[in-house]
Amino acid sequence: MALPVAQALRSEHPNAEIHFVVRKGNESLLANHPAIDKTWVWDKSFKKYRNLFRLIAKLKKIKFNAAYNLQRFFSSGYIMFNIKAKEKIGFDKNPLAKFYTKSIPHIINQVKKDDFIHEVQRNLALLGKNELIRPKLYPSASDIAKVESLEIKQPFFIIAPASVWFTKQWTINKWQALANQLSKKGSVVAIGAKGDADLCDEVLNSIERSLNLCGELSLLQSAALMQQAKRVYCNDSAPMHLASSVNAPTTAIFCSTIPQFGFGPLSDDAEIVETNENLACRPCGLHGKKVCPEGHFKCATTIDLSQITI
């Protein structure tokens, strides 16, 4: 959801040199991207702060015309504080925002059902823009070749049942029921991280026309696969954003979180599914939780299969 800022900058300044700073593990997403010339990686997994200082030392050698901080954490503000840039622009919620040349509010409106803005719009506001631009990813020829080598029979549907946060994840029995219905119309392919393989095995256990690719594809390969899918079914999680980046037809299932936070799907054909019950406990937070605070998890269990386009 940060990519539209780079895309907008490239459109306005076609000859500019645009750099991007990411956490290690996300850099592969930016391969082949025409809006990005240089990717800087912060390895937080080992010697986190030493690597941060090393990164800053390298960035300080460059004189930027402008620097944009799309995060609201101290660490990103610290990077901004140390680099050389004529303009430093970011959100006022950052602890070091007082050192920016310009800061703007980051507002999440969760009150009105149809009156909210997407995170992409909030990010683009840093450029003074009031619009919505879909993020784009660019799978390479080798990524596409990898997908084609799988020889998945068309039509096929992608499911991404897992989530880092339990309360963002639709229940296993519901995913099983959905996979069973989808298998009547085509093949069912599960994607996710390597650690999601057991969950997806359980979901696909009784489905003959199915394939579990958890841990088998890179992020761009997953995006390339989505380009060929009949539809992508996912939680409010990373696969939803991958699907948006290649404009894949998407059904996003929201459990404990709500679309009004502004992190929903951006594909032209995007369906949001959530409970029809008016739950006083929903949303229980901006992000998901490890367990349901109320113990009943009705925000997920009350979403019926009949609500979903198949």
Q: What is the mean pLDDT of residues 89-111?
A: 89
Residue 283's contacts (CB-CB under 8 Å, 6 or more residues apart) are 110, 256, 257, 258, 261
Residues in the chain, how many?
310
* CA of residue 60 relative to chain centroid, distance: 29
**Do 107 and 202 have their domain in common?**
no
What is the Cβ-side half-sphere exposure of residue 189, based on CA atoms within 13 angstroms?
23
CB 41 within 8 A of CB 48: no
**Do 80 and 153 have their domain in common?**
no
**Do 151 and 240 have their domain in common?**
yes
Q: What is the pLDDT of residue 15?
A: 96
Instruction: Evaluate whether residue 132 is within a structural domain.
Output: no
Task: Read off the pLDDT of residues 121-162 as tens digits, 9 standing for 90 and up.
Answer: 999 999 999 899 999 999 999 999 999 999 999 999 999 999
DSSP per residue, 242-270: HHHHTT--EEEE-SSS-GGGS----SSSE
Q: What is the mean pLDDT of residues 183-201?
A: 96
Instruction: Evaluate whether residue 133 is within a structural domain.
Output: no
Task: Read off the pLDDT of residues 221-274 as tens digits, 9 standing for 90 and up.
Answer: 999 999 999 999 999 999 999 999 999 999 999 999 999 999 999 999 999 999
Instruction: Evaluate whether residue 244 is within a structural domain.
Output: yes
Q: What is the pLDDT of residue 286?
A: 86
**Do 198 and 76 have their domain in common?**
no
**Do 231 and 288 have their domain in common?**
yes
Structure tokens at 91: 């959100």
Residues spanned by the domain of 40: 3-127
Q: What is the mean pLDDT of residues 40-67?
A: 95
Q: What is the mean pLDDT of residues 164-174?
A: 95
Q: How far is CA 190 from CA 62, 134, 225, in A?
A: 43, 24, 11
Residue 113 has pLDDT above 70, yes or no: no
Can you tell me the distance from the alpha carbon of 79 to that of 195, in angstroms, rounded to the nearest whole number? 32
Average pLDDT, the chain: 94
Instruction: Evaluate whether residue 20 is within a structural domain.
Output: yes
For the full predicted model, state whether its pTM sits above 0.75: yes
> pLDDT grade, residue 115 (50/70/90)?
low
Q: Which of 98, 127, 156 is the last residue of a domain?
A: 127
The total of structural domains in the chain comes to 2
Q: What is the mean pLDDT of residues 70-85?
A: 95
Q: What is the pLDDT of residue 108?
A: 83
Residue 110 has pLDDT above 80, yes or no: no
Q: What is the pLDDT of residue 206?
A: 85
Structure tokens at 192: 């996710």
CB 91 within 8 A of CB 124: no
Instruction: Evaluate whether residue 152 is within a structural domain.
Output: yes
Q: What is the pLDDT of residue 213?
A: 97
Nearest to 129 by CA among 104, 96, 111, 95: 104
Q: What is the pLDDT of residue 69?
A: 97
List 103's β-bridge partners, or say none.
90
Q: What is the pLDDT of residue 111?
A: 56
